Amino acid sequence: MFRAGVDLIQLDVSVLDGKRQPVTGLNASDFTVFENGVQRPVRAFTSIQLRPNAGTAVAATVPLDVVTNQVGQQEGRLVVILMDRSIPSGQPTLIARKVAVAAVGALGPYDLAALVSTSGAVPQNLTADRTRLINAINERRDWSTGHSKELKDVMTIPDDALSDGRCLCGLCVLETLTRIADAVQNTPRRRKVLLFIGSSVIFQAGPRAPSADVGCDWRVSEARRRLFDSLALSNLTVHSIDPSGLASLGPQTRAGALGGKQGEDGPVRRLQKMQTEISELLSDQGSLHVLPDLTGGRAVSNTNAPEAKVPEIFGESDTYYVVGFERGMSDQRDDKRSIEVKVARPGVRVYAQRQYTVPAVEKSVVPRGADAPMSLEKALRGLLPNASRPLTLSVGAFAGSDTASAIVMVNVDVGAFANAREMAMPLEFAVSAVNQKTGRQIAFARETATIRFKPGTSNRRAEANVQTHVELTPGDYEVRVAVSDPATGIAASVFCPVTVPLFGNAPLSLSDVIVETTDRMPSLPASATQVPTTTTRRVFEQDEGVRALVQVYQGTQRTDVIVPVSVRTTILDAKGRAIRDQLLALTAKDFTNRRAALALDIGALPSGDYVLTVDASLARQKTSRVLHFAVE
Beta-carbon count within 10 A of 307 CB: 22
Q: What's the whole-number average pLDDT of the chain?
A: 84
The reported pLDDT for the residue numbered 254 is 54
Tell whether 265 and 410 lie within a shared domain.
no
Tell whether 443 and 470 lie within a shared domain.
yes
Indicate the residue among 316, 334, 349 that finishes a domain.
316
- What are the tens digits of pLDDT across the range 17-76? 999 999 999 999 999 999 999 999 999 999 999 866 444 455 455 567 899 998 877 889
Query: Which residues make beta-bridge pairs with 240?
Result: 196, 299
pLDDT above 80: residue 144? no
Tell whether 309 and 347 lie within a shared domain.
no
User: Is residue 387 in some structural domain?
Assistant: yes
User: Is residue 230 in some structural domain?
Assistant: yes
pLDDT above 80: residue 190? yes
Q: What is the mean pLDDT of residues 271-289?
A: 69
Tell whether 409 and 468 lie within a shared domain.
yes
Q: What predicted TM-score, i.e. pTM, was given to this entire model?
A: 0.81
Point out the least confidently predicted range of 45-59, 146-160, 505-519.
Answer: 146-160
Tell whether 330 and 422 lie within a shared domain.
no
Q: What is the mean pLDDT of residues 167-181?
A: 90
User: Is residue 266 in some structural domain?
Assistant: yes
Tell whether 232 and 155 lie within a shared domain.
yes
Tell whether 23 and 84 lie within a shared domain.
no
Domain at 512, CATH number: 2.60.40.3880
Q: What total of structural domains would you count in the chain?
A: 3
pLDDT above 90: residue 550? yes
Tell whether 470 and 382 lie within a shared domain.
yes
Residue with the larger pLDDT of the pair 436 and 525: 436
Q: What is the mean pLDDT of residues 552-575?
A: 95
Domain at 9, CATH number: 2.60.40
pLDDT above 50: residue 511? yes
User: Is residue 367 in some structural domain?
Assistant: no
Tell whether 328 and 299 lie within a shared domain.
no
Tell whether 539 and 603 lie within a shared domain.
yes
Cα–Cα distance measured from residue 327 to residue 8, given in angstroms and rounded to the nearest whole number: 6
Confidence of residue 262 (pLDDT cuts 50, 70, 90): low
Q: What percentage of the chain's residues is helix, strand, coil (to nearest 5)?
A: 20, 35, 40
The reported pLDDT for the residue numbered 4 is 41
Q: What is the mean pLDDT of residues 386-396?
A: 93
User: Is residue 161 in some structural domain?
Assistant: yes
Q: Do 106 and 81 contact (CB within 8 A), yes or no?
A: no
DSSP codes of every residue in 177-239: HHHHHHHTTT-TTEEEEEEEESS----------GGG-SSHHHHHHHHHHHHHHHHHHHTEEEE
Q: Which domain holds residue 625?
A: 372-631
* 21 φ, ψ (degrees, to nearest 5): -95, 140
Cα–Cα distance measured from residue 389 to residue 281, given in angstroms and rounded to the nearest whole number: 49
User: Is residue 539 in some structural domain?
Assistant: yes
The reported pLDDT for the residue numbered 3 is 39
The reported pLDDT for the residue numbered 256 is 53
Which of 95-104, 269-278, 395-404 is the most confident on average? 95-104
User: Is residue 601 in some structural domain?
Assistant: yes
- What are the tens digits of pLDDT across the range 314-332? 999 999 999 999 988 765 6
User: Is residue 495 in some structural domain?
Assistant: yes
Tell whether 197 and 85 lie within a shared domain.
yes
The reported pLDDT for the residue numbered 455 is 82
Indicate the residue among 361, 395, 418 that finishes a domain.
361
Domain at 170, CATH number: 3.40.50.410
Tell whether 300 and 332 lie within a shared domain.
no
The reported pLDDT for the residue numbered 154 is 43
- What are the tens digits of pLDDT across the range 330-340? 656 557 899 99
